[in-house]
């Protein structure tokens, strides 16, 4: 019989505001996020942990992170986070640290090692992982060679097929890949930012992008374009032998985004 898995829920690009009723391109982000949390709560099997992979806030306000903390707390699920380009990492560190939310960036669960990276460049939409963070990543991987590893950060390390996103992804992906190539225990890399589902395999590592809990970007679009797909999250089953399974789940939330929007 196969050993039990660790169930991870990835939730990303929430874009909360200080004001609870504020909308992003026609969609009330607090309401859509609440719908995703209801879906998590209604799962037949509750996740063992939550990974929040950036753009948790739209305005970087303490109030938005306090709202987030209050919304995930009743689930009682260990929750970990990384910042996105709309976030304020300093404010996040002050607010998002009360159990079950943790600011740990290296931890072990279910026989897997989890390594969380900050890919944000202050004041920029694009991302880059600092030299110090890359050195830390390499050192952590060297220390835990025998543990299957999941890495997460906000920005995509690949072009995703949307021309308008070509310049806003991870700018130093090759530096990341050079480290990944030296450490075969890396199995899965999760990221957000692209507000759509994405999959790519490179040298045995599986790279997964995940829909937002709010507005969705239209795949394969040449210019900024919203999609009518519903908000979602990703579930990942991690097995002690290093194998894994994953699927995106969409909510039943009725979205009416401003499809004429040219950006945000």
Q: Is pLDDT above 60 for 1? A: no
pLDDT tier, 129 (very low <50, low <70, confident <90, very high otherwise): very high
pLDDT digits over 155-181, tens only? 999 999 999 999 999 999 999 999 999
Q: Which of 165, 238, 247, 248 is nearest to 213 (CA)?
A: 248
Cα 20 from Cα 39, distance rounded (Å): 20
How is the chain split into domains, by residue range? Answer: 6-250
pLDDT tier, 2 (very low <50, low <70, confident <90, very high otherwise): low
Instruction: Give the CA dihedral 168, 93, 8, 113, nearest 10 degrees.
Output: 90
Residue range 19-34: mean pLDDT, rounded = 91
- Name the average pLDDT for the chain: 94
pLDDT digits over 106-119, tens only? 999 999 999 999 99
Residue range 232-248: mean pLDDT, rounded = 97
Rounded to two decimals, the pTM is 0.96
6-250: CATH number: 3.60.21.10
* Number of helical H runs and strand E runs in the chain: 5, 16
Residue range 200-212: mean pLDDT, rounded = 97
């Amino acid at each position: 019989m196969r050993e039990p898995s660790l169930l991870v829920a990835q939730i990303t690009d929430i874009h909360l505001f200080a004001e609870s009723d504020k909308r992003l391109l026609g969609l009330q982000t607090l309401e859509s996020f609440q719908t995703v949390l209801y879906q998590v709560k209604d799962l037949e099997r509750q996740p063992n942990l939550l990974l929040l992979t950036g753009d948790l806030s739209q305005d970087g306000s303490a109030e938005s992170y306090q709202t987030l903390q209050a919304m995930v707390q009743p689930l009682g699920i260990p929750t970990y986070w990384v910042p996105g380009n709309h976030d304020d990492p300093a404010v996040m560190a002050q607010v998002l640290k009360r159990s079950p939310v943790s600011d740990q960036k290296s931890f072990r669960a279910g026989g897997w090692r989890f390594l969380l990276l900050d890919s944000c460049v202050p004041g920029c939409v694009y991302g880059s992982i600092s030299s110090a963070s890359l050195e830390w990543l390499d050192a952590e991987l060297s220390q835990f060679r025998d543990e299957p590893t999941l890495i997460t950060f906000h920005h995509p390390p690949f072009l995703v097929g949307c021309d308008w996103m070509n310049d806003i992804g991870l700018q130093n992906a090759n530096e990341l890949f050079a480290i990944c190539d030296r450490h075969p225990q890396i199995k899965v890399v999760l990221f957000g930012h692209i507000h759509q589902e994405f999959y790519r395999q490179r040298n045995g590592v599986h790279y997964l992008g995940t829909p937002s809990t709010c507005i969705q970007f239209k795949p394969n679009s040449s210019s900024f374009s919203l999609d009518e797909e519903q908000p979602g999250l990703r579930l990942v089953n991690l097995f002690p032998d290093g194998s894994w399974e994953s699927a995106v789940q969409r909510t039943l939330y009725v979205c009416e985004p401003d499809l004429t929007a040219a950006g945000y």
